[in-house]
Amino acid sequence: MTLLRKGKNYLKRLTHNKMNLVVLTPEKEIFSGEIRSVKVPGTSGQFEILKGHTAIVSSLVEGGIRILDAKGNKKEFNIEKGFIEVLNNEVSLLVQGVKE
């Protein structure tokens, strides 16, 4: 089936694969905005969050974070341990600190 036959709604779903992310430390907000994905260092290994991910709360260990923003630009930094919460395409990272 071609894209034309699937219609405009199908194209909107393909192009609107974004969610919101906020990264907070006790001192300040590190990042806030629309993203396509975020990769985090979980206690059982690294994992990636994409639009539509099931609700989750997980602990994070020290390691690298990779954000792919809404425009396709990569942002990377290292965090100290913390937590991630995902609910309805809203992602919150609460971390003890950021190492640059």
Q: Flag whether pLDDT at 11 surpasses 70.
A: no
Angle at Cα 52 formed by Cα 67 and Cα 46, nearest 5°? Answer: 45
Q: How far apart are the C-alpha atoms of 3 and 72, rounded to whole Å?
A: 23
For residue 22, give the DSSP letter: E
CATH of the domain at 26: 2.60.15.10
Domain count of the chain? 1
Residues facing residue 57 across a β-bridge: 85
Containing structural domain, residue 48: 18-99
pLDDT digits 0-9 by tens, 38-90: 999 999 999 999 999 999 999 999 999 999 999 999 999 999 999 999 999 99
Report if residue 64 sits inside a domain: yes
Report if residue 81 sits inside a domain: yes
Query: Span 13-26, mean pLDDT?
Result: 82
Pairing mode of beta strands 63-69, 56-60: unpaired
Report if residue 60 sits inside a domain: yes
Report if residue 7 sits inside a domain: no
Report if residue 2 sits inside a domain: no
Report if residue 47 sits inside a domain: yes
